[in-house]
Amino acid sequence: MKRFKSALILCIALFCCSLLCAESYFGTKAPTEPKAVGDIVFNDGSATPFAEGLELSKEQKDAAVALIFHVGTACSDDDANRTLGIGLRSGQAFLKWCDKKASAYMEYIDTIYETTKNGSQNLEKIGEWLREHGKVDDTATEKKYPAFHYSKKYGKQTKNMGIYTDGWYLPTKVELWTAFEQYDTLKAVCKVCKLPEISGLCWTSTQGNPKGNLLGWFALLHCFYGEDDGDDFAGFFNDISKPISYRVCAIREF
């Protein structure tokens, strides 16, 4: 009987311990709880709302994956509710939108112009447009569309991403502008996590405006600076030739 009681007590203790371990997360919000704008997302799916004076442990800093910058329908093409976050370790690579040898270089891809808000399928839309117009679909060639492929592979090529290795992509004009609206918070979070700031000129996946004979040469570039950085072009968009290297950010749904 004593042995049975001892075994029972041990089983109960192990069960309680497993429950405690299962409920231990990096963030104050469990992975199943809805995420809100301003939340720092960790690689176990949990999150913590950012607040001035927030301190994180080294383990939390290493596990920080993204900042939630949007919850709602403004970045949706079908009025679906979306929760979006920007990768905290993105924005440091300098890459071309596409190469001069890419089929999309001099083409006006109207299916990824400003009417498209959700950029998760924009590379695929480029390929579809090329095929429909009798062009060679070369979108699978990474060196021809480096900014797009970097964003898609961001989760697999970045350390400590946990459950968030997939689903990343190059944001549209609307998505990157929405992220820019949280610029001050993003800067503060990067500082808390001891990460380089995301700033400067960043590519979007949005096709630029047609300009005379230069019909499809341009894609939209976003100036990811805040007003307090002393930059007169804070938050502007401009049409830039596709085969020029600029910063590349990666976002995904959460």
pLDDT of residue 84: 99
Q: Are 224 and 180 in contact (CB under 8 A)?
A: yes
Predicted confidence pLDDT, tens digits, the chain (254 residues): 445 445 445 445 444 444 444 569 999 999 999 999 999 999 999 999 999 999 999 999 999 999 999 999 999 999 999 999 999 999 999 999 999 999 999 999 999 998 899 999 999 999 999 999 999 999 999 999 999 999 999 999 999 999 999 999 999 999 999 999 999 999 999 999 999 999 889 999 999 987 655 667 889 888 766 555 555 556 678 889 999 999 999 999 99
pLDDT of residue 115: 84
pLDDT of residue 183: 92
User: pTM here?
Assistant: 0.87
Measured CA angle at 253 (ends 75, 193), to 5 deg: 110
Q: Are 160 and 43 in contact (CB under 8 A)?
A: yes
pLDDT of residue 86: 99
pLDDT of residue 210: 74
pLDDT of residue 40: 99
pLDDT of residue 233: 52
